[in-house]
Every structure is written in C-alpha cells, then in structure tokens.
A = this chain, B = another copy of it.
Amino acid sequence: MALTGVLRPGFIQIRVLDLAAAEAHYVDRIGLNKVGTGADGRLYLKAWDEFDRHSIILRKADTAGMDVMGFKVASDADLDGFEKRITDWGLTVDHVPEGEQPGVGRRIGFTIPSGHRIELYASMELSETHPPIENPHVWPKEPHGMKATRFDHALLYGPDIEKNLAFFTEALDFALAEKVDTPDGVLGIWLTCSNKAHDIAFVRHAEPGRFHHVSFHLESWMDVGHAADIMARYDISIDVGPTRHGITRGQTIYFFDPSGNRNEVFAGGYIHYPDNPIRSWGPEELGRGIFYYERRLNDAFLSVVT
C-alpha cells in the first residue's frame, strides 16, 4: 500500500485535575514512560514501543476531558495538501507553531462537526528511548505495569457524527470499518487510516466535544487479565470488563483515571483492509456489539463522558 497521508493517532492531550495522581496512574499503573514536563507544566508521556518523543499529554485543568487529538501525517507537504482539502470541505483551519509541544513541528488544527479539536502534524523528534533499531532486542527494558505498547485510538462523543464520517473519509482518506445504525440515524462509527480496526471512533451524543475514552494497546488477552489484576490491586475503578467488543473484536477493559477520564486497555481485533466490507450493527444487537459477552450496554456506556 502507498502509506501516505494520515499515518496514525500521534498524540492526545487530556485534562486532569491532579497531575501527581495522573502521573502515578499513567506511569506506574498503565506502564507509560515519563518523557518530561514542559515549561507550562504539561506532562509528556510515551508507551515503550513508540518511536516518537511523546504520545500522551496531561494538562492540569479544572475539568476532565480531552483538549485535542493529533494525527501524524507522512510529510510536511501533506500538511499543506490537507489544509486545502479541509478548507475546501468547509472547516476552518488554524496554525500551531513549531515547538508549542516540545520536539513537535508545526501543526494545523480544526474543529470537526462533533465539536472536537483535531490537529495534524508531520514531524516529531524521535524519542531518546525509542525501540532499538540496530540488532534490536525485543524490548530494551522489561515493560512494567499494564505494559501498554502504544496510544491506540480514542472514542469521542458528540452530535453530527454523519458529518464526521463524511469529513474523515472525504478530506482525510479514512475508511469506515464498522457502524451502528438505528432508526434515528447512525449511532456510532469506527474509522481507520491503517490496518487497525479503528484509529478513531464516534458515538452520537447531544453535547459536543465530549470524551469517552483513550485506548492503550496490550499484546494479548493474558495482558488484559494482568491489567485487571493491577486495577483490583491498586483500587482503580473499572467501568466494565475484562470483556470483548463485538465491534472490532477487541478484548477490553474500560476503567477510569483519577480525574474521571475513561481509559481502555485493548488487545486483539482483526486486521483491516480497505476492500473489506463494512461491518454493520442494528439496534437489536447493539449490546452485543459493544460488550460481546454481556450482550447488553451498561448504564455508563452512553452517559458517562468527560
């Protein structure tokens, strides 16, 4: 495949109420590595198997939620190309200068119909602790905590997700992997710019710009079980799981960070190709689509967001 355009979810900036508690949660428990603290107090983290400088940014604020999700694109020229396509599609693009995040080049930003801020960027410094590349070992140092390998995706809640679908497929070349249709219209969409079953997903919600969860990839169902042991041992609040999603087939636990932001650990899921048929779910099987073993939604799934 020509791997051009949008490559992957590259960073997410999350608001937390207490930075020290958040650091303990994301570093000691989820197993991220601390990169450093910026001059403005933002905390930068990365997973052990990521090459770029950082992927998770924690900002102290009075309310929890997501500030912005950033996608890396293949080249600086892509930034100009996407700016034109996004503007042509009808969104307003602004510019974030190089260095606003340490080690990150210029970014373009815009608000999608569901009310979320998305940014694109083409360059980020290589991490000083990226996976080794010369006669590399499997890992330089044993992963710790839940052993998250990467920032995998986010699920966002807001209105007008059909417009989001049009935008991501028309302006950013994403593919629709799965969707949930209801008599009231599309309830959820799972979008991919890769061979992963999803890189970003949206669920219809009255309030714009809401954050359902940020997901961290684990290597296997065994690691999902180990993550659950860590959650019980350290009294981390579990929303649901260990279970499996029907949608994406991912094995999962939803849980909460100390500020109330939902996290997910995620393993498995199929490999996606653009010639795969779209997988679709109706309202009668929505429960099984979301929580495959329980076969019903819990109350929190559609209501608890930050």
> A167 to chain B: which residues have CB within 8 Å?
none
Residue A84 is within 8 A (CB to CB) of chain B in the complex: no
CA–CA, A249 and B132, complex, Å: 12
Subset of 19 A-B contacts with CB under 8 Å: A1-B173, A2-B2, A2-B3, A3-B3, A3-B173, A7-B275, A8-B273, A51-B276, A133-B277, A134-B280, A134-B281, A136-B246, A142-B230, A219-B268, A220-B221, A225-B244, A228-B293, A229-B292, A232-B288
Do the beta carbons of B137 and A233 come within 8 Å of each other?
Answer: yes
Interface segment, one of A33-41, A158-166, A189-197: A189-197
A289 close to B (CB within 8 Å): yes
Q: Which residues of B contact A136 (CB under 8 A)?
A: 246, 279
Q: Which chain A residues (62-78) contact chain B, with CB distance < 8 Å?
A: 72, 74
7 more A-B residue pairs beyond the given contacts A74-B274, A221-B225, A238-B294, with a C-beta to C-beta distance below 8 A: A1-B3, A51-B273, A134-B281, A195-B195, A220-B221, A221-B221, A232-B295
Q: Which residues of B contact A275 (CB under 8 A)?
A: 7, 51, 72, 74
Q: List residues of chain B with CB within 8 A of the CB of A131.
A: 270
Report the bound CA distance from A115 to B287 in whole Å: 40
User: What residues of B have a CB within 8 angstroms of the CB of A6 in the complex?
Assistant: 1
Residue A135 at the B interface, CB < 8 A?
Answer: yes
Q: What mask results when residues 170 to 198 of chain A are scored 1 for a CB within 8 Å of chain B, else 0?
A: 00010100000000000000000111100
Question: A251 to nearest B CB, angstroms?
Answer: 7
Q: Which of A128-147 contact B (CB under 8 A)?
A: 130-131, 133-139, 142, 144-145
> Of B249, B284, B294, which contacts A138 at CB under 8 A?
B249
User: Which chain B residues border A220 with CB–CB below 8 Å?
Assistant: 220-222
Instruction: Scan A237-269; emit 1 where CB is below 8 A from any B CB, else 0.
Output: 010011110100101000000000000000010
The residues of B that contact A135 with a CB separation of less than 8 Å are 246, 280-282, 284-285, 288-289
Query: When the two chains form their complex, are residues B221 and A274 in contact, meaning their CB atoms are under 8 A apart?
Result: no
Q: Shortest beta-carbon distance, A84 to chain B, in Å?
A: 15
Cα–Cα, bound, A150→B230 (Å): 21
A135 to chain B, nearest CB (A): 4
A92 contacts partner chain B, Cβ-Cβ < 8 Å: no
Residue interface bits A15-52, CB-to-B below 8 A is 1, else 0: 00000000000000000000000000000000001010
CB neighbours (8 Å) of A134 from chain B are: 279-282
Q: Any chain B CB within 8 A of the CB of A61? A: no
Are the CB atoms of A139 and B279 closer together than 8 Å? no
**A180–B144 Cα gap in the complex (Å)?**
30
**Which of B8, B139, B230, B241 contacts A233 (CB under 8 A)?**
B139
In the bound complex, how far is the Cα of B231 from the Cα of A3, in angstroms?
36
Judge whether A7 and B173 touch: CB under 8 Å. no
